[in-house]
């Protein structure tokens, strides 16, 4: 069995370079809905509730500084869920979003009036949505990526984020999953290849150093 230390040594000097913040960050809050925090939901993920709480100070800081905050949610059309394509066939558990309660945003991270909410049908916040165009039109060069789950929508959005030309920053405490093993493995992979995995505290410090928001 390869340990985390073995993997880190193997990757050293090859992967894991820092990309850092640009001058215009936005906060992207991915799928913090009750499907992942309610114990009777088939999608319940024990690591998500702490991530919701860790995201609150980031929301406060971005809003106080006048920088963009963007949210995503999942919506498919029942009863056939045809707009979910093979994704829903592969993961039929996603049909649980037909229960309106599971699609409700978690307490404490609700969108404010005027904050865009991107509706998506697939894992990536970019796939089939207007997110990239919205970020580009707003002059954004960096996305601070929070939400769930680490091994699903966060990883997919991180990969697409860098492929669309955005710096990707993932605050470790502000993303969550249903099991620590895929959570840690995907944070390791994101940090190695697609973005920078850092602490919430370091994001707040960096945010304070960034230039003011673009007019």
Residue 126, sorted as left (phi over 0), alpha (psi -120 to 50) or beta, turns out to be: alpha
How confident is the model at residue 10, as a pLDDT? 65
For position 123, what pLDDT does the model report?
A: 96
**Residue 25 or 7, more confident:** 25
DSSP state of 114: T
Active site residue 96: no
Please, what are the domains in the chain? 21-209 (3.40.50.850)
Contacts for 159-164 with beta carbons within 8 Å, 24 or more apart? 159/124, 159/194, 160/124, 160/125, 160/126, 160/127, 161/126, 161/194, 161/195, 162/194, 162/195, 164/126, 164/132, 164/135
Beta-sheet strands, E only, within 98-141: 117-120
DSSP conformation letters of 27-90: EEEE--BGGGT-TTSTT--TTHHHHHHHHHHHHHHHHHTT--EEEEEE---TTT-GGGHHHHHH
Does the bond joining 149 to the residue before it have cis omega, within 30 degrees of 0? Answer: yes
Q: Give the pTM.
A: 0.91
Q: Are 144 and 26 in contact (CB under 8 A)?
A: yes
Question: For 25-46, what is each residue's pLDDT tens digit?
Answer: 999 999 999 999 999 999 999 9
Give the tokens for residue 49. Answer: 């509730």
Which token pair is 204? 């707040």
Q: How far apart are CA 205 and CA 203, in angstroms?
A: 5
CB 155 within 8 A of CB 190: yes
For 96-126, the pLDDT digits (tens) are: 988 889 999 999 999 999 999 999 999 999 9
Number of H helices, E strands in the chain: 7, 7
Query: Scanning the structure block, which residue is given the tokens 């945003």?
Result: 105
Of 106, 148, 153, 210, catalytic: 153
Q: What is the pLDDT of residue 38?
A: 95
Looking at residue 88, its pLDDT comes to 93
């Amino acid at each position: 069995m390869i340990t985390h230390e073995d993997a880190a040594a193997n990757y050293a000097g090859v992967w894991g370079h820092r990309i850092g913040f640009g001058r215009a960050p936005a906060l992207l809050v991915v799928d913090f809905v009750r499907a992942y925090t309610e114990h009777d939901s088939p999608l319940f993920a024990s690591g998500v509730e702490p991530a919701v709480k860790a995201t609150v100070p980031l929301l406060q800081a971005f809003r106080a500084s006048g920088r963009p905050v963007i949210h995503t949610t999942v919506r498919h059309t029942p009863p056939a869920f045809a707009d979910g394509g093979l994704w829903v066939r592969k993961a039929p558990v996603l049909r649980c979003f037909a229960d309106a309660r599971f699609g409700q945003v978690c307490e404490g991270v609700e969108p404010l009036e005027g904050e865009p909410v991107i509706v998506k049908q697939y894992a990536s916040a970019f796939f089939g949505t207007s997110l990239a165009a919205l970020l580009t039109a707003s002059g954004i060069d960096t996305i601070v990526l929070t939400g769930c789950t680490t091994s699903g929508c966060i990883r997919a959005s991180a990969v697409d984020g860098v492929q669309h030309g955005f710096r990707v920053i993932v605050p470790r405490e502000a993303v969550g999953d249903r099991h620590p093993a895929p959570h840690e493995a995907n944070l390791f992979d994101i940090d190695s290849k697609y973005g920078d995995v850092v602490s919430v505290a370091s994001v707040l410090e960096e945010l304070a150093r960034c230039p003011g928001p673009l007019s």
